Amino acid sequence: MNGEGSIRVVVVGAGMVGIRFAEEVARADRAGRFEVLVLGEEEYEPYNRILLTELVAGRAELASLALARPAGATVRLGARVERIDREARAVCVDDEPVPYDHLVLATGARGRVLRVPGLDAGPDEPLPGGVFVLRSVDDARGISAAALNSRRAVVVGGGPLGVEAACGLRLRGVDVDVVSFAGHLLDRDLDPEPGRLLAEAVSDLGIAFHGDAALAALTHDDRHVRGVVLDDGRTLAADLVVLACGAVPETALATAAGLEVAHGVVVGDDLATTRDPAIHAIGDCAQTPSGVAGLVAPGWEQARALARRLVDGEAADPVAVVLDGAAMRLKAAGVSLVAAGRKASTAGGARVLTMSDPYARRYVEVVVDGDALVGMTCLGAPELASSLSVQLGRPSVVPLDPLQLLAPSAGQGDTAAGSPTTMPGGTTVCRCNGVTKRDLVAAWDGGACSVDALATTTRATTGCGGCTSLVRGIADWLQVSDADADASQSRSATREPVVKGA
């Protein structure tokens, strides 16, 4: 604690998790004891990284990505942290020490660059022209600009980022090949059958998928990419390559500071680093006992948990990082896919119901455990996907026959009406005044033999007037049936179906 009595928290990284953490501290810190400083390396205002593929697709304006600066915290942009001085409890920015009581690493991850021939320059060397990862606004802007002059693009990686980038580029009119070493698209999120259907769905958009294929080399001339070579010897021409083949936790600062680093910065369930309890790590850079987040939702959960722990000393439950079955909602123009929770291959003993409709590139799968929906996969069924996703993990939502989960259920009541002739007598014709068809028939029989007379007698049509045409139709039908009746038999016989033997 410093002289003024406030507790200084320095956050390295102004990404979605770092910003969220600062917000959560402000929310929890009612006494105003904490002073939070967020250091962002990029010059841009904090932004929503999840929407970068929307920029690539041209579906979002750059300004719409900017996130709110966290209330009650200071944000410094363009502030690159050079090192951590654990002894002095300070980080060094532009050769100036910035002291902390708690340091939170939210440095995120960088796009993985496969070191194959053609991409074998050092990690600090620029990538060849036309080759991009997709982690930052600069990457997305570079890809968008390159797409203007590109005819063929190759996306390396068949995960959500790869598919979204491919669909986005396709929307810009670029022909796209997707290359993945996995056998099907989104292999972490989907079983082979829906993965295959997804490939067909993107193929309909003009995107070719090459599975079971690894990138062997990248060819370029004048430092601009010309194509890729796959491990089976095939070559694909390309003037734009997007590397969407995973992310590497950004751990350089932690390593240099002597903290324990494996795949990411190693932290315990309390999100504190193993060698320095004053330093924490959250989000994509952190390796918790259950893994690395990789998605924003668990990162946000960690932000919240750590904020509460620092402010309230609350020993919250460990935030589990779900590696398999984390909710995945594809943001790809032209394809709707949501997968979350368990799937057929990981269902264990749970009940799996599947609807496969290859013709329509549609696949729906629900996994039910007792009275809870514990997994869902919805391809090409966006409305069902959204109605199922709000039920996922909630107690007591599963119908007695879970098959009903596969059919839309909300707001699907019958439409009343029918023709004036066939509608049952008890049907309400005028809601405003509670008038049924039977009331109208009775009024007609009582001598109210016009629309105006029916309105005066029953008050039908005198509210919102929405039933006027229906009342007119009933009057017309009564007129005709009366004429028939006059010609033959009694009135009621022509209007009511004769029930034999009744």
The residues of the shown chain that bind other proteins, judged by CB under 8 A, are 45, 47-48, 50-51, 54, 59-61, 63-69, 327, 329-331, 336, 338, 371, 382-383, 385-387, 389-391, 394-401, 404, 409-415, 431-434, 459, 462-466
Q: Which is nearer to other proteins, 34 or 300 (CB)?
A: 300
Question: Which among 93, 321, 76, 115 has a CA at the least distance from the CA of 217?
Answer: 115
Contacts of 388-396 with CB under 8 Å at 24 or more apart are 388/338, 389/327, 389/329, 389/338, 389/340, 392/327, 392/340, 392/341, 393/341, 395/371, 396/371, 396/372
Q: Which is nearer to other proteins, 354 or 433 (CB)?
A: 433
Cβ-Cβ contacts under 8 Å for 295 (sequence gap 6 or more): 326, 327, 328
Q: How far is the CB of 388 from other proteins (least distance, A)?
A: 9
Q: How far is the CB of 169 from other proteins (least distance, A)?
A: 18
Q: Which is nearer to other proteins, 116 or 442 (CB)?
A: 442
Q: How far is the CB of 440 from other proteins (least distance, A)?
A: 15
Q: Which is nearer to other proteins, 30 or 500 (CB)?
A: 30
Cα distance between residue 132 and residue 111, in whole Å: 9
Q: DSSP strand E in 6-151: where?
A: 7-12, 34-39, 73-76, 81-85, 90-93, 96-99, 102-105, 109-111, 131-133
Q: How far is the CB of 433 from other proteins (least distance, A)?
A: 5
Q: Which is nearer to other proteins, 50 or 485 (CB)?
A: 50
Cα distance between residue 52 and residue 138, in whole Å: 10
CB-hemisphere CA count at 13 Å for 130?
Answer: 25
Q: Which is nearer to other proteins, 417 or 480 (CB)?
A: 417
List the 7-12 sheet strands across, edge first. Answer: 73-76, 34-39, 7-12, 102-105, 279-281
Cα distance between residue 353 and residue 359, in whole Å: 19
Q: Which is nearer to other proteins, 360 or 464 (CB)?
A: 464
Q: How far is the CB of 435 from other proteins (least distance, A)?
A: 9
What is the helix, strand, coil percentage profile of the chain, to 5? 30, 25, 45
Q: How far is the CB of 245 from other proteins (least distance, A)?
A: 23
Here the tokens at position 410 are 């909300």
Beta bridge partner(s), residue 354: 365
Q: How far is the CB of 336 from other proteins (least distance, A)?
A: 7
